[in-house]
Chains A and B, each alone.
Chain A
Amino acid sequence: MSEALVVVAKNSAEHKRWNYVVYLYAAGLLLLTPLVLEPFEIGKMNRALIMSVAILAVNLVVGFNGMLALGHSAFMGIGAFVTASMVQDENWDYWQVLPVVLIVGFLMGIIIGLPALRVKGLYLALTTIAQAAVFPTLVNIDELGIAKRTGGPNGKGVSEEVIAPSYWEWLPGVDGARGGSAYRYWIIILMLGITLLLVTNYLRSRPGRAVLAIRDNEAGAAVYGVNLPVAKTMNFAISAALGSLAGLMWCLDKAFVAGQDFTFLLAIDLIIGLVLGGVGTIQGSLVGGLFVVWVNDLTKRISVPLGLYTLNGDGPLAKAIFGLILILFTFFAPGGIVSLGRLINNKLIKIIPLTPVGQPIEPLSNFDPGMESARADTAMKMSIAGPILLAAGWLLMNVNNLIVGVLAFGLRMSIVVLAPVAMLVGANELKAHADGNRPDAIKGPATMAQTVGALGFLFVIGYAVQRFVQTYPIWDIPLI
């Protein structure tokens, strides 16, 4: 099937309908996370989102500017220690520390980034690795009161806990046992959202485009009037400020900071997340953060008896699995998970851009297979496959085995994608039939795909709403 299942003009009704489904899912995911997950799982989610911010910072330099900087764990550490020290020693609030952290990170970025102008390629990788390697020992210096501020080898705890004030208690999840972590989840989501918005805009702005131009062709960018040193240093400094922001979020979430948290291994985790998510894409940073934390969590639960000894994921082997994944991705999916996702997305939908007048740049009928279309059949198969896979997943769920469990989860989740796709494709085909572009034979399968798909979609929505209402007593919302 070379052609996408749905071909729509940009901003047409069909395209908007498609987007509404996507937005609905995103909102549902956002809302259900703090409600459905266990408190410790929300904590892991927070950590994943923090890693996403840090990976975004690395991406800004590595992915968008094409420079190999591997030492962002140090910037995270700086941000975290500044936060811990200000909040604990000076009794500042976190939001007061925020500008300080950003400025400190920015200045550190300029200081460390200046040598970065002189050195190139792997030399830069080396200097930044040196930075990552030296940071954990730097916090132990006794002089200048550094050790007093950072707590030295013992680490620094922040005694003030982040608890939701009463007027935020209506936020989903922010009450009862999971209150603290759910509240931090919302703070982190807010910061992540703002960060994503700012970074996207930055990359579209003049300096951002200069940064991309440097990545694509340094000499060419210079010829077009980009001031290479300024653009590179500013980009590096912005990235460092972002890294420090991730450090602040880390301190906010864990309320404890130690030098051992910000070693070279964290820098390696960031690189793994970057590569697995997708180098040079914003979504890739998000996916990468989630992947690093949750896959690490999964591998820790693996336990496979293998003849003489058991393969235990909880031990040192977790890192080996990560190494293997990293190598496999470099070989077979250099674009990361995002590129795989795009591959699937391209099979599902093709969006034809518009001319300035508002017409599709090419008539949609050019992309339409016309009377021979087999899409209705495909959609019908998808609409039936959804419930079957769901049932299979439910049956398999009872097998007490990690790998089967993950498989069962994947099967159950498949309906989330299959049902709405079948529904939308079915509706599309019926419309094409009404226009006279399809034979009458597709009417049956298309109607069935539309109906069964809609039922499946309703089921998904209904299930989500049920989970939502079950854990979130809406009627308790205080009127403010």
Chain B
Amino acid sequence: MDLVLLLQRIFDALFNSAIYSSLALALVIIFRSTGLLNFAQGEMATFTAYIAFVLLSGPQPRLTGGGLAGLVPGVPLPIPLAIVGAVICGMAGGAMTERALIRPLGRAPDLALVNITIGVLLATNSLMAQWWGTGPRIFPAVFPSGAGQHFSILGARLRYSTVGVWAILLGVLVLLILLLRHTRTGLAFRAVSISPSNAELVGVRVGTTLMYGWALASGFGALAACLSANSVLLEPNMMLRVLVYAFAAATLGGLDSPKGALIGGLIIGLSQTLIPAYVPFIGFELSVLPALLAMIAILLVRPAGLYGTRRIERV
């Protein structure tokens, strides 16, 4: 086995892993707090990537679509600012979704909540297609990713963009942990995710806290979409496939464990690249298969995922 090739494949897989991990983290944050799976996570993230794209290109009527031109700043923004803008828009959108669509439902059955998010998925997806068209757009690279721009480790190339994405992911994770451990909102958030009714009894404003949770998750999703938009080409269905992988990653790690999301993303990303490369039976087109089989296999052994908490039901 060629070690350099193996290393190269691992490095290549790391980029995707980071994207899956961050989207899986977004799913986990929402699942922990609200107990629902946000099927619209990917579409909401893609929407923010389009916002970043518009911010990057300035007020071109072709891009801004219809009556939105007035809201766009007159000059194209640099990439970091555009991404920050997109993340802020994403957070606002997530908070609004929670407030307007999820909270009024109260304690609804799972199916109702799934329906709401599927409805948001369809609506967002077609709105994007309506405003920006279905054709793919070229999103500029966030990190230098030219021919020679990579670290060489043992003969394998580790691209700057991979390092950059992981740096951002880990940095944001550290921020998240600090937020959860050392702020009042974080404490409230942890309390709500353990037991909403008890949290309410001790004076935590559950609704507002959940809204922050959604904002946080959507911010994560927006970041993932902006960072990956260059490599997968910006188009309305961009995150649909990524979302399936992120679902697999989150499930594998355990739906309520952020650590699980990180490791699940790594496993899914690596297996997606490595298994088709070394198992001749599975072509590259089928790269989705091993990831999902891994997910099902792990669920069979550990129904709550690798790091998820087992639920014990009292009757």
Q: Using CB atoms and an 8 Å cutoff, list the residues of chain A in contact with chain B.
A: 62, 68, 70, 115, 118-123, 125-127, 129-131, 133-134, 137-138, 140-143, 219-220, 264, 268, 271-272, 275, 279, 308-309, 315-320, 322-324, 326-327, 329-331, 334
A218 to chain B, nearest CB (A): 9
Would you mind naming 10 contact pairs between A and B with Cβ atoms under 8 Å apart?
A123-B299, A123-B303, A125-B110, A131-B292, A308-B67, A316-B125, A316-B128, A316-B134, A323-B120, A324-B123
Residue of A137, A219, A275 touching B111 (CB-CB under 8 A): A275
Contacts of B122 in A (CB 8 A): 268, 319-320, 322-323, 326
Chain B residues 82-96 with CB under 8 Å of chain A are: none
Tell me whether B115 and A326 are in contact (CB under 8 A).
yes
Tell me whether B67 and A115 are in contact (CB under 8 A).
no
Q: Using CB atoms and an 8 Å cutoff, list the residues of chain B in contact with chain A.
A: 31, 36-37, 66-67, 101, 104-105, 108, 110-112, 114-116, 118-130, 134, 236, 240, 244, 247-248, 251, 255, 281, 283, 285-286, 288-289, 292, 295-296, 299-300, 303-304, 311, 313, 315
Give the top 3 A-B pairs by smallest Cβ distance, nearest first: A323-B122, A316-B129, A323-B123
Tell me whether B299 and A119 are in contact (CB under 8 A).
yes
Tell me whether A137 and B285 are in contact (CB under 8 A).
yes
Residue of B37, B101, B112, B296 touching A122 (CB-CB under 8 A): B37
Residue of A127, A137, A220, A271 touching B286 (CB-CB under 8 A): A137
- Given A316-B130, A320-B127, A326-B115 in contact, is the A309-B244 Cβ separation under 8 Å? no
Q: How far, in whole Å, are A271 and B113 apart by their CA atoms in the complex?
A: 13
Tell me whether A118 and B299 are in contact (CB under 8 A).
yes
Tell me whether B67 and A118 are in contact (CB under 8 A).
no
Q: Which residue of A lies closest to B120 (CB)?
A: A323
Residue of B36, B111, B112, B130 touching A315 (CB-CB under 8 A): B130
Tell me whether B118 and A268 are in contact (CB under 8 A).
yes
Residue of A123, A133, A264, A320 touching B255 (CB-CB under 8 A): A123
Contacts of B105 in A (CB 8 A): 330-331
Contacts of B296 in A (CB 8 A): 115, 127, 130
Instruction: Give 19 new A-B contacts, CB below 8 A, not counting A122-B31, A141-B283, A323-B123.
Output: A118-B300, A120-B311, A121-B110, A123-B251, A123-B255, A126-B247, A126-B248, A129-B244, A129-B247, A133-B288, A309-B66, A316-B125, A316-B127, A319-B125, A322-B122, A323-B119, A326-B119, A330-B116, A334-B112
Tell me whether B115 and A133 are in contact (CB under 8 A).
no
A235 to chain B, nearest CB (A): 17
Q: How far, in whole Å, are A121 and B36 apart by their CA atoms in the complex?
A: 10
B71 to chain A, nearest CB (A): 15
Tell me whether B248 and A130 are in contact (CB under 8 A).
yes
Q: Which residue of B lies closest to A268 (CB)?
A: B118
Tell me whether A115 and B119 are in contact (CB under 8 A).
no
Q: How far, in whole Å, are A331 and B119 apart by their CA atoms in the complex?
A: 12
Tell me whether B303 and A118 are in contact (CB under 8 A).
yes
Contacts of B236 in A (CB 8 A): 316
- Given A127-B299, A219-B313 in contact, is the A331-B285 Cβ separation under 8 Å? no
- Given A118-B303, A119-B303, A315-B129 in contact, is the A330-B36 Cβ separation under 8 Å? no
- Given A323-B119, A326-B115 in contact, is the A120-B303 Cβ separation under 8 Å? yes
Contacts of A315 in B (CB 8 A): 129-130
Q: Which residue of B lies closest to A329 (CB)?
A: B115
Q: How far, in whole Å, are A130 and B303 apart by their CA atoms in the complex?
A: 16
Contacts of A264 in B (CB 8 A): 240
Tell me whether A133 and B292 are in contact (CB under 8 A).
yes
Q: Which residue of B lies closest to A70 (CB)?
A: B114
Q: How far, in whole Å, are A142 and B299 apart by their CA atoms in the complex?
A: 28
Tell me whether A330 and B292 are in contact (CB under 8 A).
no
Tell me whether A68 and B104 are in contact (CB under 8 A).
no
Tell me whether B247 and A130 are in contact (CB under 8 A).
yes
Contacts of A329 in B (CB 8 A): 115
Contacts of A137 in B (CB 8 A): 285-286, 288-289
A66 to chain B, nearest CB (A): 8
Contacts of B289 in A (CB 8 A): 134, 137-138
Contacts of A138 in B (CB 8 A): 286, 289
Q: How far, in whole Å, are A122 and B31 apart by their CA atoms in the complex?
A: 10
Contacts of B119 in A (CB 8 A): 322-324, 326-327, 330
A471 to chain B, nearest CB (A): 38
Q: How far, in whole Å, are A287 and B67 apart by their CA atoms in the complex?
A: 38
Tell me whether A68 and B295 are in contact (CB under 8 A).
no
Contacts of A121 in B (CB 8 A): 110
Tell me whether B288 and A134 are in contact (CB under 8 A).
yes
Tell me whether B66 and A122 are in contact (CB under 8 A).
no
